[in-house]
Amino acid sequence: MKKILAAVLCVGLASCSNETWTCTTSQKTMYSMSASGKLGSAGKGCSCAEIRAFELRTFGAVDEAALESDFGC
């Protein structure tokens, strides 16, 4: 899970802007997509509640320490 989040975070950091981002999930991946179609980290468009629910649903547990360090949740 951390590898997926790290990869998505790297993509997100490369595309910083003031665009509108929405939360998107696909199987075991959560990411954000801008209005113009750019991909970004889950932290750009997903709320802490959405990330927490995704982790619980997908992995059966929530890594609270990782949520805090990765997303400030």
pLDDT, tens digit, for every residue of 18-71? 889 999 999 999 999 999 999 999 999 999 999 999 999 999 999 999 999 999
How do the domains of the chain map onto residue ranges? 2-71
The two structure tokens encoding residue 22: 């929405």
Question: For the chain, how long is the longest CA-to-CA vector?
Answer: 34
pLDDT of residue 43: 93
Give pTM, 2 decimals.
0.71
The CB density around residue 69, as the number of other CB atoms within 10 Å, is 10
pLDDT of residue 11: 52
What does the alpha-carbon distance between residue 6 and residue 24 come to, in Å, rounded to a whole number?
16
pLDDT of residue 17: 58
pLDDT of residue 5: 47
